Copies of this chain bind each other. A is one copy, B any other.
Amino acid sequence: MSIGDKLSPIAESFTLKDHTFSVLRAAILDMDIYRPDADLRLDERKLAESLGISRTPIREALARLAQEDLVQIIPRKGVFVCRKTREEILEMVVTWAALESMAARLATQNATDGQLAALRRFAMKHSSDVVRADIEEYSDANIKFHQTILELSGCALLGRTAEGLFTHMQAVRRRTMGESDRARRSVADHMEIIEALMARDADLASRRVREHTMRLHDHISKTWNRLETLSSLRNAAG
């Protein structure tokens, strides 16, 4: 064995542009953009100064974020984090449902018995989180569950497309979870989905995933209003 085999490339092709993209993306997801008084403004020059780099890589990162609809660039006005409307959020859920239900359909063909058994063990292990009212923990498990179904489809693009939507919904989840009633129903849904997958019933698995996700759709549809009106009231007052 030569010495070369032990040397891996040092941060191969690292670029500030890509790094900035990741950093900004994470930062945006981390901020609670639906807080009425949230500062949605991103200042290129301030960012550049904060990161200790020039505006150029910042701008290229912002261009990519804009392409992902995470920010909106208004020429000579500013760069703003996109706040999704209720309708846009509902559409994201619908699109998510489309992707994941297809994933479930494919998973009945492509997943191995072992993979499905592992998924079942995982789901059962975390079902107790709900009982313990450990919603935070359950929420993570919930996310993992759905991502796993997308993976088991064997179609990477389904997962990647959904991931883009997921990014946006991260902020939304903060406002939709916390009701243990919904969580309990969710656990039951998950077990039924796994059951359908193991039965290799494509239509049933697909339907159950879709209906499960559409229940989130209906829930948001009913409860998001309160938050929206709260925001606009505040804006009107200011």
Contacts and interface: CB of A to CB of B under 8 A. Distances in A.
Contact of A157 (B68, B75, B94): B94
Contact of A102 (B94, B106, B155): B94
Interface string A38-70: 000000000000000000100111011011100
Contacts of A235: none
Interface of A: 13, 15, 17, 56, 59-61, 63-64, 66-68, 74-76, 88, 91-92, 94-95, 97-99, 101-103, 106, 155-158, 161, 210
When all copies of this chain in the complex are counted, the total is 2
Given A63-B63, A67-B64, A67-B68, A99 B106 contact: no
A66 B158 CA distance: 19
A161 B158 contact: no
Given A94-B158, A161-B161, 17 more contacts: A56-B56, A60-B63, A61-B63, A63-B63, A63-B64, A63-B67, A64-B67, A67-B68, A91-B156, A91-B157, A91-B158, A92-B157, A94-B102, A94-B106, A95-B157, A97-B102, A98-B98
B15 A75 contact: yes
Contacts of A76: 13
A91 B15 CA distance: 29
27 contacts: A13-B74, A13-B76, A15-B75, A17-B63, A56-B56, A59-B60, A60-B60, A60-B63, A61-B63, A63-B67, A64-B66, A64-B67, A67-B67, A88-B157, A91-B158, A92-B157, A94-B102, A94-B106, A94-B157, A95-B102, A95-B155, A95-B158, A95-B161, A98-B99, A98-B103, A98-B158, A101-B102
